[in-house]
A and B are shown apart, each in its own frame.
Chain A
Amino acid sequence: MNPEKFPLLSPIDLEGLSYCGFITVKGQELFFQFQHEDSNLTLRNVKLYGCPNLKRLLHGHENALQQRLEQCTNFSEFFLDLKDLLEFIMISEKPEPMPTGRYYLSLLSELNSIGWEKLEILDPSLRNLTLKLSDSSSRKHSIHISIPTSYPHALLNARADIPSISMTQFQATNLKDVINYYSKEFGNFQEVWAMLDDIDLNTWVLEPDKPKRSDLMRRIALGNHCSLKIEIDVNHPRRECQYELFGTESLIVPLHIKIAKNWNNWDINLTVRRNFENILEITFPTFQTSLSSDINFDCGICYSYHFESTIPDQSCNNNKCGQSFHRVCLYSWLQAIPSTKKNFNTLIGNCPYCNDVISTTREQ
């Protein structure tokens, strides 16, 4: 250690493993302590302690710091690098204007007026908050609000998870308006959510993985590698909705015939789930009943369900087999087999499970 270079730094143990002192960057003196974890003096395993100001400056630059620690061979080199890094951070830092006193006063009075029990999260900077609201069917909703520094002169930005793109974001002058606006919006979607909750509760939903309040689509397991995808109409939640059937042709065709026969019996007094059960003349398996009868939806090649945001949508048409695969997995397997026939971008080969003919096309 060169004392002339670093006059404000001194060793604090006999072995010279730890140092403490001040680093001077742009006229600011920052306290820090540096400790080797093992005695072989490499910089791979060191601990750095610092004053709050140093911590704040280095926050978000942990990777850069780690990289420098790994590259430097000795402490002096690292010390100079750290100084460079801190100088760079200080220059690039744009200090954000602090909110005025009126900001905090209005925030406080607003929270008093709406009631503190509605406040779920308030971040330490007092700039973002989350309100929780229950709708008439006691579903819990969160409203995320970010407050500009110039508040109350600027508008609040609010956002909530509702199934309408144009309505999710809202700007208001105060929290009360936000609550009134979203209470009304949540009221508009009661029927939609009632339909979706009925599906989520009584069927095995394959997709989306964790449905959000804004998701109107559900893909429901039917068993034997077949599934039904439906999308609730946000304006007419009880009406006939769009659907699509996936799975082995031999099992899907009879279902299509039933739909053609029973589609006119749609009863808007029943839930969407009940209507589909009546039309398809089945009851949807739930997750619990399916666990015992081990319905397997995983891809037969990669053994997983989700793969790069795709799900197994190709299935073997032999209804004794019916194994499903991801398009990518099946395509790359068939491609590797010399006996596979190729017709434009369709591959025709054999199912890896039952050896029946199976074909697939490359992802569009």
Chain B
Amino acid sequence: MSMALFTKRLAKELSDLKINPPVGIEIEEAETFKSWKLNLDGVDGTLYAGERFALEFRFSPNYPMESPEVVFVGNIPIHPHIYSNGHICLNVLYNQWSPVLSVRSICLSIQSMLSSCTCKEPPPDNSHYIRTARSSPKLTQWSFHDDSV
């Protein structure tokens, strides 16, 4: 049952992203319903203007009941909530996920997280985190305390 649900919904999201793409977000690769790659452009007038990043979404068959795994790949932005292994500290990706959210809204959340950044610096515990973190960010016990950036 969930199999049909998840492919049907992703197919809908994909066609919506293709027909009506949000500004600065572009599908790089979406061949399967297992993982997608999207390009995210830094918004003009912010610290990340002119930079291009790639996000990887990995979906489980329980999507959208379960959040997708979202990480930066390749060129990883320097940001207080983004670890240098690509993991993103953002509550909607973990405990605040809801099926209302979509690939589009996650991209927009990340874009706005980048845009509101005032100082390009890595998270304070970056070196410790990347040594201990497991491959999936969903296995990390996140604590969300900073709402300012």
Instruction: Using CB atoms, name the residue of chain A closest to B62.
Output: A336
Task: Determine if A353 is an interface residue (Cβ-Cβ < 8 Å).
Answer: yes
CB of B126 within 8 A of chain A?
Answer: no
B99 at the interface (CB under 8 A from A): yes
Interface of A is mostly: loop
A338's nearest neighbour on chain B, judged by CB, is B95
Chain B residue contacts of A308, Cβ below 8 A: 1, 4
Q: Contacts A307-B8, A308-B1, A329-B5 known; A300 to B100 CB distance under 8 Å?
A: yes
Alpha-carbon distance between A336 and B62 when the two chains are bound, in angstroms: 10
B-contacting residues, A310-364, CB 8 Å: 328-329, 332-333, 336, 352-353
Q: How far is the CA of A303 from the CA of B100 in the complex (A)?
A: 9
Q: How near does chain B come to A358, taking the closest CB pair, in angstroms?
A: 12
Q: How many A-B residue pairs have CB under 8 A?
A: 36
Knowing A308-B1, A328-B1 are in contact, say whether A302-B64 is a contact too (CB < 8 A).
Answer: yes
> Does any Cβ of A come within 8 Å of B18's Cβ?
no
Of B1, B4, B8, B99, the contact of A300 (CB 8 Å cutoff): B99
A303-B13, A352-B100 given; A333·B65 CB < 8 A = yes
Taking a contact as CB atoms under 8 Å apart, the answer to whether B5 and A353 are in contact is no
* Beta-carbon contact of A352 and B98 below 8 Å: yes
Query: Is A304 interfacial (CB 8 A cutoff)?
Result: yes
| Proximity bits, B102-113, A CB within 8 Å = 1, else 0 | 000000000000
Least CB distance, A126 to chain B, in whole angstroms: 42
Do B12 and A336 touch across chains, with their CB atoms under 8 A apart? no
Chain B residues touching A, range? 10 to 19
A300, A307, A336, A352: the one contacting B5 at CB < 8 Å is A307
Known contacts A300-B100, A308-B1; A336/B65 CB under 8 A: yes
Distance between Cα atoms of A302 and B13 in the complex (Å): 10
B2 at the interface (CB under 8 A from A): yes
Q: Are B8 and A352 closer than 8 Å at their CB atoms?
A: no
| B100 interface neighbour in A304, A307, A353, Cβ under 8 Å | A353
Give Cα distance in the complex from A307 to B98, angstroms: 20
Interfacial chain A residues near B4, Cβ < 8 Å: 307-308
Residue B66 CB within 8 A of the other chain: yes
Q: Measured between C-beta atoms, what is the minimum distance from B3 to chain A in Å?
A: 11
Asked if B66 and A336 sit within 8 Å, CB to CB, the answer is: yes
Give bound CA distance, A173 to B2, whole Å: 52
Q: For residues 123 through 145 of chain B, which have their beta carbon under 8 Å from a beta carbon of chain A?
A: none
Q: Which residues of B contact A353 (CB under 8 A)?
A: 100
B99 contacts A301, C-beta separation under 8 Å: yes
Answer whether residue B9 sits at the interface, using C-beta atoms and an 8 A cutoff: yes
A353, B99: Cα distance in complex, Å:
9
Asked whether, in the complex, the Cβ of A302 is within 8 Å of the Cβ of B100, the reply is no
Query: Assuming A301-B64, A304-B9, is B1 touching A352 (CB within 8 A)?
Result: no
Query: B99: which of A307, A328, A352 is its contact (CB, 8 Å)?
Result: A352
What string of 1s and 0s marks CB contacts (under 8 Å) between B1-43 and chain A? 1101100110011000000000000000000000000000000
Q: Which residue of chain A lies nearest to B13 when distances are taken between CB atoms in the complex?
A: A303
Nearest 6 CB-CB pairs, A to B? Answer: A301-B99, A352-B98, A303-B12, A352-B100, A302-B9, A336-B65
- 25 sampled A-B residue pairs with Cβ under 8 A: A300-B99, A300-B100, A301-B9, A301-B64, A302-B5, A302-B8, A302-B9, A302-B64, A303-B8, A303-B13, A304-B8, A304-B9, A304-B12, A307-B5, A308-B4, A328-B1, A329-B5, A332-B2, A332-B65, A333-B65, A333-B99, A336-B66, A352-B98, A352-B99, A352-B100
Interface residues of B (CB under 8 A from A): 1-2, 4-5, 8-9, 12-13, 62, 64-66, 98-100
15 further A-B pairs in the complex, CB-CB below 8 A; given A302-B9, A304-B9, A333-B65: A301-B64, A303-B9, A303-B12, A303-B13, A304-B12, A308-B4, A328-B1, A329-B5, A329-B99, A332-B65, A336-B65, A336-B66, A352-B98, A352-B100, A353-B100
